[in-house]
């Protein structure tokens, strides 16, 4: 659950609706400068299901210290379990999609594969539940690579596909959480233009409270609409999970109508 304070109150965007916004980005992706990396369908599918494991938890989200639990505050055992479930669902859907979703879930704990600044913490110092998950995903990815035939072509595809997924994921979080709301700029690093490309940085600048400018421009249209479903509840202390659940049941769904355009 992505929680932000807006004029409507506490606005809650589910992770599964965030991933739908990422799927919109995938559909609009590509132009003369940014190729659609083939096969593209598994990459777009990963965008649409990379947080699928959150669906059940978000039916009844929790409260901590009187506030809805934000996605960065969920406890590690629950977080690991949610991603394990989502990765299993992605693997059942398609091997390539499963590979990318496994890489996404694992690398959230490891500096996003070098996309985040600074070195990730060593595995030896992580909680046991996290360390076990990371080692498990090593095996998952090894098995999927083997089933897909391995080789340098697959590795170039997986690297580019993973970085595309991170581009869409980070841009969506910037829009729906605190980044755009605070008027901050964002750099999306190592965005690939084709398989094997080391990538280049996209710069994101605010263009009002519901829009931003991307440079260079990676999408096919002159402007891309990126709506996302949300609900708003009162910005007040919540006594229990049930208190929040009842408030959410009364809250009407509405649309946050984000858009992006070229500089």
Here the tokens at position 146 are 């083997």
Q: Is 255 helix (H, G, I), strand (E, B) or coil?
A: strand
- Helix (H) or strand (E) run with residue 189 in it: strand 186-191
Backbone angles phi, psi at 169, to 5 degrees: -60, -50
User: For residue 54, what is the DSSP state?
Assistant: G
The residue whose two tokens read 């600074």 is 118
What proportion of the chain, given as a percentage, has pLDDT over 90? Answer: 98
User: For residue 208, what is the DSSP state?
Assistant: S
Higher pLDDT, 82 or 121: 82
Here the tokens at position 241 are 């999970």
Sign of the CA dihedral 206, 212, 213, 218?
positive
pLDDT number for residue 121: 87
For the chain, the domains span: 2-262
Q: What are 33-61's pLDDT values in tens digits?
A: 999 999 999 999 999 999 999 999 999 99
Cα–Cα distance measured from residue 11 to residue 2, given in angstroms and rounded to the nearest whole number: 8
Q: Given a cut of 90, is residue 239 above it in pLDDT? A: yes
211-215/200-206 β-pairing: antiparallel
Q: Which of 130, 40, 122, 53 is nearest to 85 (CA)?
A: 53
Give the long-range contacts of residues 30-35, CB within 8 A, separation 24 or more.
30/218, 30/219, 30/220, 31/217, 31/218, 31/219, 31/220, 33/193, 33/216, 33/217, 33/218, 34/191, 34/193, 34/218, 35/193, 35/194
pLDDT number for residue 134: 98
Q: What are 85-138's pLDDT values in tens digits?
A: 999 999 999 999 999 999 999 999 999 999 999 998 899 999 999 999 999 999
10 Å CB burial of residue 83 (0-12, 13-18, 19+) is: buried
Q: Is 143 helix (H, G, I), strand (E, B) or coil?
A: helix
Cα–Cα distance measured from residue 38 to residue 160, given in angstroms and rounded to the nearest whole number: 10
User: For residue 180, what is the DSSP state?
Assistant: T
pLDDT number for residue 133: 98
Here the tokens at position 259 are 């858009």
Average pLDDT in the chain:
97
Cα–Cα distance measured from residue 136 to residue 241, given in angstroms and rounded to the nearest whole number: 32
Predicted confidence band of residue 263 (pLDDT cuts 50, 70, 90) = confident
Here the tokens at position 199 are 């990538």
CB 33 within 8 A of CB 248: no
């Amino acid at each position: 659950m992505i929680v932000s304070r807006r004029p409507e109150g506490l606005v809650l965007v589910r992770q599964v609706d965030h991933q739908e916004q990422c799927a919109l980005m995938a559909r609009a992706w590509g132009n003369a400068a940014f190729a659609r990396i083939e096969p593209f369908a598994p990459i777009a599918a990963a965008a649409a299901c990379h947080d699928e494991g959150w669906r059940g938890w978000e039916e009844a989200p929790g409260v901590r210290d009187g506030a809805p639990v934000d996605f960065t505050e969920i406890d590690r055992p629950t977080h690991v379990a949610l991603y394990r479930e989502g990765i299993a669902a992605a693997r059942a859907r398609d091997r390539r999609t499963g590979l990318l979703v496994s890489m996404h879930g694992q690398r959230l704990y490891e500096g996003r594969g070098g996309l985040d600044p600074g070195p990730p913490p060593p595995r030896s110092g992580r909680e046991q539940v996290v360390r076990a998950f990371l080692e498990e995903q090593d095996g998952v990815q090894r098995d999927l690579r083997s089933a897909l035939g391995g080789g340098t072509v697959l590795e170039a595809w997986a690297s580019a596909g993973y970085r595309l997924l991170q581009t869409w994921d980070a841009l969506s979080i910037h829009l729906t959480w605190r980044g755009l709301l605070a008027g901050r700029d964002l750099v999306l690093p190592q965005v690939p233009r084709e398989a094997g490309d080391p990538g280049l940085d996209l710069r994101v600048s605010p263009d009002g409270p519901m829009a931003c400018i991307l440079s260079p421009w990676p999408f096919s249209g002159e402007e891309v609409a990126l709506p996302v479903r949300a609900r708003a509840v009162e910005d007040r202390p919540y006594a229990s999970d049930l208190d929040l659940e009842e408030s959410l049941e009364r809250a009407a769904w509405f649309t946050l109508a984000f858009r992006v355009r070229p500089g």
